[in-house]
């Protein structure tokens, strides 16, 4: 039972990374096969440049996940390092969003053509929106409803809110 959390994190990371690697290879092969077999006449240097430009962030993210989150084991089978948690909130979550969105865009481009790369433009727009809402929240001190007396409350209620709310009396 020693290191149970480490072993379970290592198993979860290995499973998720293997699934991601399989999905990445399958989706990129699907793109290349359709381009080579069906849409050969419409394939140009511009298409290759767009593919490299828009798929590179996803491939770099996969590489980062592999380097940081792939567990390492010792010769006796014990886990030396479980790796970073792939279910973490924040940047890791955003990186998964970019990965999945790129998968969708590659599939759309495979079926519809190069103009579907326009859908990938939603990623920077979402990033700007998330950064702006974070900035305005920090600028305001995150005081939307916490600690601010309600304007329609009586003076007594405002004083109690200012002191920290109602106190519970024990007998």
Residue 90 lies in a domain: yes
Number of domains into which the chain is organized = 1
In which residue are the tokens 């430009």 written? 53
**Global pTM exceeds 0.75:** no
C-beta of residue 117 within 8 angstroms of C-beta of residue 103: no
Residue 169 lies in a domain: no
Residue 45 lies in a domain: yes
> Which structural domain, as residue segments, surrounds residue 156?
4-163
Residue 81 lies in a domain: yes
- Cα dihedral 27, 32, 33, 36 in deg (nearest 10): 160
Q: Which of 87, 92, 39, 36 is nearest to 62 (CA)?
A: 92
- Over residues 8-45, the pLDDT tens digits come to 888 888 899 999 999 999 999 999 998 888 766 666 78
C-beta of residue 86 within 8 angstroms of C-beta of residue 25: no
């Amino acid at each position: 039972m020693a290191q149970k959390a480490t072993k379970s994190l290592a198993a979860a990371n290995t499973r998720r990374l293997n699934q991601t690697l399989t999905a990445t290879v399958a989706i990129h092969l699907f793109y290349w096969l359709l381009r080579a077999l069906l849409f050969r006449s419409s394939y140009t240097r511009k298409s290759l440049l767009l593919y490299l430009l828009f798929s590179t962030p996803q491939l770099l993210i996969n590489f980062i996940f592999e380097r940081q989150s792939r567990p390492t084991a010792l010769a006796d089978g014990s886990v030396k390092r479980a790796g970073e948690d792939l279910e973490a909130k924040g940047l890791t979550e955003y990186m998964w969003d970019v990965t999945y969105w790129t998968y969708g865009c590659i599939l759309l481009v495979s079926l519809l053509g190069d103009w579907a790369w326009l859908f990938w433009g939603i990623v920077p727009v979402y990033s700007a929106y998330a950064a702006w809402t974070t900035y305005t929240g920090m600028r305001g001190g995150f005081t939307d409803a916490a600690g601010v007396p309600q304007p329609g409350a009586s003076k007594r209620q405002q004083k109690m809110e200012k002191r920290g709310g109602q106190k519970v009396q024990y007998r």
